Structure 1
Amino acid sequence: MNFTQFSVPYPVAEPYQKKVAYFSMEFATHQPLKIYSGGLGFLAGSHMRSAYELRQNMIGIGILWKYGYYDQGRNQDQTLDVAWNEKQYSFLEETGIRFQITIHEHPVWVKVMYLPPEIFKTAPVFLLSTDVPENDYVSQTISHKLYDANVATKLAQFILLGVGGAKLIDMINFNPDLYHLNEAHGLPAAFYLYKKFENKIEEVKKRLVFTTHTPEEAGNEKHDIFLCKKMSYFCGLSVDEAKQLTGMPDNQFNHSLAALRLAHLANGVSKLHGEVARKMWSKYENTCEIISITNAQNWMYWADKQLYRFSEAGDDYAFDDRKRYLKKRAFEIVADQSGKIFNPDVFTIVWARRFAGYKRANLLTTDEERFKKLMSNTEFPVQIIWAGKPYPVDHPAISEFNELVFLSKEYANVAVLTGYELTLSKRLKQA
Structure 2
Amino acid sequence: MKAQELFPYTFDEAFKRPVAYFSMEFAIDQALKTYSGGLGFLAGSHMRSVNDRRQNTIGVGILWSYGYYDQGRHEDNTLKVEYRRKFYYFLKETGITVEVEINGKPVFVKAYLLPAETFESAPVILLSTDIFENDHLSRTITHKLYDANEETRVAQEIVLGIGGTRVLKALGLDIDIYHLNEGHALPLAFELMKEYPELEELKKHIVFTTHTPEMAGNETHDAHFLERMGFFNGFSLDEVREKLDYHDADFSLTVGALKVSKRANAVSKIHEKVANEMWKNVPGRCEIISITNAQNMRYWSDKQLMSWMLEHEDYQLVGRKKHLKHQLFEEVADQTGKLFDPDVLTLVWARRFAEYKRPKLLIRDMERFKALIHNSEYPIQIIWAGKPYPLDQQAINEFNDLVRMSREFKNVAVLTGYELRLSKLLKQGSDVWLNTPRWGREASGTSGMSAGINASVHFSIDDGWHAEFGKDGVNSFTIPHADPSLPVEEIDRIDYERMMEKLEKVILPTYYDQPDKWLEIVKNGMNDIYIGFNTQNMVERYYKELYNYEPETEG
For 1:376, the aligned partner's letter is H
1:56 is paired with a residue whose SS is coil
Instruction: Identify which of 245, 249, 254 aligns with 1:251.
Output: 249
Deviations 1:113-162 (A, max 9, x none): 00011100011100000001111111000000000000110000011000
My pick for the range that moved more, 329-338 or 243-252, is 243-252
Deviations 1:264-311 (A, max 9, x none): 100011121112112221122211111111111111100011011111
My pick for the range that moved more, 102-111 or 167-176, is 167-176
2:193 is paired with a residue whose SS is helix
- What's 1:337 paired with? 335
Q: In the TM superposition, what is the alpha-carbon distance from 1:425 to its structure 2 partner?
A: 0.4
1:16-415 map, 5 Å: 16-197=15-196, 199-415=197-413
Deviations 1:19-68 (A, max 9, x none): 11000000000100011000100010111100011110010000000000
| Separation of aligned partners in 2, 1:202 and 1:170 | 22
Q: CA contact under 8 A between 1:334 and 1:341: conserved in structure 2?
A: yes
For 1:37, the aligned partner's letter is S
Q: In the TM superposition, what is the alpha-carbon distance from 1:249 to its structure 2 partner?
A: 3.5
Q: In the TM superposition, what is the alpha-carbon distance from 1:3 to its structure 2 partner?
A: 5.3
| Separation of aligned partners in 2, 1:89 and 1:217 | 35
For 2:156, the aligned partner's letter is Q
Number of residue equivalences:
429
Q: CA contact under 8 A between 2:6 and 2:115: conserved in structure 1?
A: no
For 2:421, the aligned partner's letter is T
Q: CA contact under 8 A between 1:6 and 1:174: conserved in structure 2?
A: no
Deviations 1:138-187 (A, max 9, x none): 10000000000001100000110000111111111211121000000000
Q: Percent identity?
A: 56
| Separation of aligned partners in 2, 1:12 and 1:271 | 30
Q: CA contact under 8 A between 1:7 and 1:174: conserved in structure 2?
A: no
1:91 is paired with a residue whose SS is coil
For 1:251, the aligned partner's letter is A
Deviations 1:195-253 (A, max 9, x none): 232x2212220000000001233531111111111110001122222223333332111
For 1:312, the aligned partner's letter is L
For 1:87, the aligned partner's letter is K
| Separation of aligned partners in 1, 2:395 and 2:309 | 39
Q: In the TM superposition, what is the alpha-carbon distance from 1:362 to its structure 2 partner?
A: 1.1
Structure 2 unpaired stretches of 5+: 430-555
For 1:291, the aligned partner's letter is I
| Separation of aligned partners in 1, 2:244 and 2:78 | 45
Q: CA contact under 8 A between 1:248 and 1:254: conserved in structure 2?
A: no
Pairwise CA RMSD? 1.4
Task: Name the TM-score, length of structure 1 as normaliser.
Answer: 0.97
Q: CA contact under 8 A between 1:182 and 1:211: conserved in structure 2?
A: yes
Aligned in 2, Cα 1:341/1:130: closer, same or farther, shift over 3 Å?
same
For 2:245, the aligned partner's letter is G
Q: CA contact under 8 A between 2:141 and 2:155: conserved in structure 1?
A: yes
Q: CA contact under 8 A between 1:387 and 1:416: conserved in structure 2?
A: yes
Q: CA contact under 8 A between 1:23 and 1:61: conserved in structure 2?
A: yes
| Separation of aligned partners in 2, 1:39 and 1:227 | 29
| Separation of aligned partners in 1, 2:383 and 2:423 | 12
Deviations 1:91-123 (A, max 9, x none): 000111111111111100011100011100011
Q: CA contact under 8 A between 1:5 and 1:173: conserved in structure 2?
A: no
Q: CA contact under 8 A between 2:223 and 2:237: conserved in structure 1?
A: yes
Deviations 1:309-355 (A, max 9, x none): 11112111111001111111111111110111111222221111122
